[in-house]
Chain A
Amino acid sequence: MRTTSEINQSPLDIIRQNKEIERRANFIKAIFLDIFFVFYSVIVVQRAIYYKFILDLRDIPFSWGSILLVFVIPAVVSVCWTFTRTSISCKLFGIAKDNKVTKWTVEIFGWFLLNITFIAGWIITKLSIVDLFSSEGLQGAERLFSSLFRPEFGIFDDALFAMIETIYIALLATLISIPITLLLSFFTARNLMKSNKITFVIYYVLRVFLNFIRSIEPLIWAIIFSVWVGIGPFAGMIALLVHTIASNAKLYSEAIEGIEEGPVEAITATGANKVQVVWYAVVPQIVLPFLSFTIYRWDINVRMATIIGLVGGGGIGTMLMQYQGLARWHEVGLIVLMIALVVWVMDYVSAKIREAIY
């Protein structure tokens, strides 16, 4: 709703105000981004390059001096830097002064960031060509591979049953997720929720909540639920269900955000209410993408279900874990073969179904 004061303002004032607000917002963003950049470079140089590589320390020593160095000084320096309007973030947000200093700082600091990131990455991942091609290592790999390629068919029945369990875990997680995801997706679609403050708050809270859930991997969810409901297929199914809901709600709501606005406009213009607009102008446009996402998700879930089994989510993964623990590589070979086969078939079938739908 517009306030009366806003209506009485002259149009030019509003334009000027909007520009001013945008400029200020960009400046605040630039401050935070600069703090992050400087902070990042100090942390990387001090912790990864100096302590871990040059001094080769195992534990990082604690001292107030280093806290000051790492947290306070970068913050102060970067804020000062932003205020001079020559920083890299000012350049990114388009509010930098257009002079030589800006050009130099941006170039030098940009190179610096790129290089320390690469060096730190090298140190942290312990990149080592020697380990990859040591004769001892190669022998171990050869032993393992030769067992894997001679699978033990004695456990075929057990493995088949476990595989079926895995497929059903994935199927049920996908099916149960559909109605819940459908409902959520309408509440997390920006174009449907932005018109009104209350709905926008709901949209925002739901988005943050779902992002949080999605950012936790199904593997972690499986660990949580295997404590909650006990180790087994049920824990695996719920873990997949939770993650499926969170990620499909995002895909679905993005499909809703990507619909053609025209029909929505047309139905709104007839005086239809919100529910009618969604049902007549939005739903017909999203049925196919929804179906396609869901089928694809089933395919993903079958693959995930095998992984989840490794931490006690039931199915073929749990079986794989057991034989791997006993170092019985011929049995492991059979299980891996079956997983590969099922994943390949699922991939093919789901691709064919999705093709047929469109």
Chain B
Amino acid sequence: MILKVKDLHKIYKNGMHALKGINFEVEKGEFLVIIGLSGSGKSTLLRCINRLIEPTAGTVEFLGKDITHVTGEELRKVKTQIGMVFQHFNLIKRHSVLKNVISGKLGQLKTFNSIIGNFSEELYEEAYRSLDTVGIREKADERADSLSGGQQQRVAIARSLMQSPKLLLADEPVASLDPATSNSVMQFFEKVNKEFGTTVICNLHFLSLVRRYATRVIALKAGEIIYEGEPKKIDEEWFKTIYGDEAEEVEIR
């Protein structure tokens, strides 16, 4: 078991109760997809796992160790083992693609070396290898914001690969991409999952993508888990429970 979340609560300062006692486990090598409406707590959940947000109560166990209360150096060590990809890519726009990819390794570099930009040959090679994995080596020297959305997200994946992550979190990675690009980006997540055996937890909106890539699905509604199981078993009825009666499934290919 790679991740175990027990009775997790998050209450924001404004009183918003985003997570109401979340319990689930993730096995190594799984491709877990979390679905749910906007505001159902998906993003908060992911950020509580790698402690970008501090949970209010409950525990998160990563590789058998409680990481809910670790701080300082120890917390940074945990973070280096968990990669994360975001909806808006969150690249450093003015930096080159290569430098963006290298920045994934920051947690393992000496502060001084990383600031003066003194990187070893191996590090550059590793960065190029990551770029090869997502198929955009030729863009290495271009500015990150000159790339298209899909390409930027691939750079973000390459950046997280630099961490050699045990766990890869993806917060709605295709929500700001067009359908065709969405599928190709999802294929890279599948590739990472299959080739490197990296466990993936991914927030998604489109059920067609969920059915295609997920090995297991968790559905959140108003901060609670209302469904857990195989993607195939989400039928019309479950869909209406998750997304509300008004909702109708949109097909994306």
Contact = CB atoms under 8 A, between A and B. Distances in A.
Given A11-B17, A14-B56, A15-B15, A263 B91 contact: yes
Nearest to A281: B92
B15 A276 contact: no
A173 to B, nearest CB: 29
A271 B80 contact: yes
A263 B20 CA distance: 28
A338 to B, nearest CB: 41
Interface residues of B, number: 45
Contact of B82 (A7, A18, A269, A276): A269
14 contacts: A1-B71, A7-B57, A11-B9, A11-B17, A19-B15, A263-B93, A267-B92, A269-B52, A271-B163, A272-B76, A273-B106, A273-B111, A276-B109, A279-B114
A270 B71 CA distance: 15
A272 B54 contact: no
Interface in B185-231: none
A279 B115 contact: yes
A270 B106 contact: yes
Contacts of A284: 92-95
Interface in A27-67: none
Interface of A: 1-2, 7-8, 11, 14-15, 18-19, 260, 262-263, 265-273, 275-276, 279-281, 284-285, 287
A267 B106 contact: yes
Contacts of A19: 15
A287 B11 CA distance: 36
B84 interface: yes
A244 to B, nearest CB: 26
A263 B52 contact: no
B77 interface: yes
Nearest to A277: B106
Given A260-B90, A271-B106, 19 more contacts: A11-B17, A11-B56, A11-B57, A14-B11, A18-B13, A262-B88, A262-B89, A263-B91, A268-B52, A269-B52, A269-B79, A269-B83, A270-B79, A270-B80, A270-B159, A270-B162, A271-B76, A272-B103, A273-B76
